[in-house]
Structure 1
Amino acid sequence: MTSPASGTGSDPVAGLTELLDQLTGTPGAAAPAQEGQAPELVFRDVDQFVSGYLALVLERRVASGPTPGITWCPRWWAHPEALSRLYALWRAWEALRITDPHTGMSIWWRDHLDPHLAALTGDAGPFSRCGADRHREPEPLRVEPAPAEVLAQLPDV
């Protein structure tokens, strides 16, 4: 996977065009799956998706000191909620790329990325205590075991 800055010389538009070609299945992209086979993934895992796509296409100001912006943690993978949400974003991106090649990416941005990114980077989100150059370990929610009589009222018991 190339970055938008790579490609032809230092022309960012040419580099972005090359990246989009790779991601949308145009020249040089992975071949479509044969019937009965799972489609080939563009990204082999969530880490490659975050570093090879998301970090390159998101243009958000990252908060730094008094400068406003989103709060992002460079160790995103160390936050269970972030790992789960970013994994879901990657899988939705891969699925929509295949199942709806015309409008899938727009749907992905609107229905998947925007709400997840807001939750991750919001004031109460998992990155709220981190910053562009620092990471604080996650603090799980405090829970107490549910009483057996409460669980017994649920239909799946």
Structure 2
Amino acid sequence: MTSPTSEPTIDPVADLTNLLDQLAGTPDGPAPTQDPESPKPVFRDVDQFVTSYLALVLERRVASGPTPGITWCARWWAHPEALSRLYALWRAWEALRVNDPHTGMSIWWRDHLDPHLAVLTGDGGPFARCGPDRHRDPEPLHVEPAPPEVLAQLPDA
């Protein structure tokens, strides 16, 4: 026997899959083919970028109990905002290493990593309720759908 609920069922795997499809720009179809002459990415995906590069080059103290430091979550991929930001960092890293081989990495650190890392690990960021040995599932913002009459006022309606 099932009981009616007012809350929709949340499927985090499907939600993350949809998010990754949106980030890749492929909501309705296969990924675009890469130009055979363009440089291949160094990292095959965001997971390899985070585990084989970012986790190794960042030297930050991770907060633990009374020890101050950044707040990090080992299950970074379970936080939609973190996944989106880290995906963007990976893509920017890949683009800047090719398009600006002289100063691209400096630009990446200054303009991309530093601001994203501050948000990810900050007091109000997606990892704020996590710790080195503790993951807390994300809590999406509560929203109410916009009324049609409000949407009708927008220029792209």
Using CA pairs under 8 Å that are at least 6 residues apart, name the structure with larger relative contact order, 1 or 2.
2
Q: Deviations over 1:46-72 (max 9, x none)?
A: 000000000000000000000000000
Shift, 1:36, TM fit: 6.2
State the partner residue of 2:148: 148
Computed over aligned residues only, the root mean square deviation of the Cα atoms, in angstroms, reads 1.0
Q: Work out the CA distance in 2 between the residues paired with 1:36 and 1:45.
A: 18
State the partner residue of 2:59: 59
Opposite residue 82 of structure 1, the aligned amino acid is A
State the partner residue of 1:16: none
TM-score (norm. length: structure 2): 0.77
Once the two structures are superposed, the pairs formed by residues 1-157 of structure 1 within 5 Å of their partners are 37-157=37-157
- The SS at the match of 1:68 is coil
Q: Deviations over 1:56-106 (max 9, x none)?
A: 000000000000000000000000000000000000000000000000000
Q: Work out the CA distance in 2 between the residues paired with 1:76 and 1:107.
A: 24
Which 4+ runs in 1 deviate beyond 6 A?
none
- The SS at the match of 2:93 is helix
Q: Work out the CA distance in 2 between the residues paired with 1:38 and 1:47.
A: 22
Q: Work out the CA distance in 1 between the residues paired with 2:72 and 2:130.
A: 7
Q: Work out the CA distance in 2 between the residues paired with 1:36 and 1:69.
A: 43
Aligned pair count reads 123
Structure 1: gaps (5+ residues): 1-34
Opposite residue 62 of structure 1, the aligned amino acid is V
Structure 2: gaps (5+ residues): 1-34
Identity %: 85
TM-score (norm. length: structure 1): 0.77
Shift, 1:128, TM fit: 0.1
Q: Work out the CA distance in 2 between the residues paired with 1:144 and 1:132.
A: 34
Shift, 1:37, TM fit: 2.2
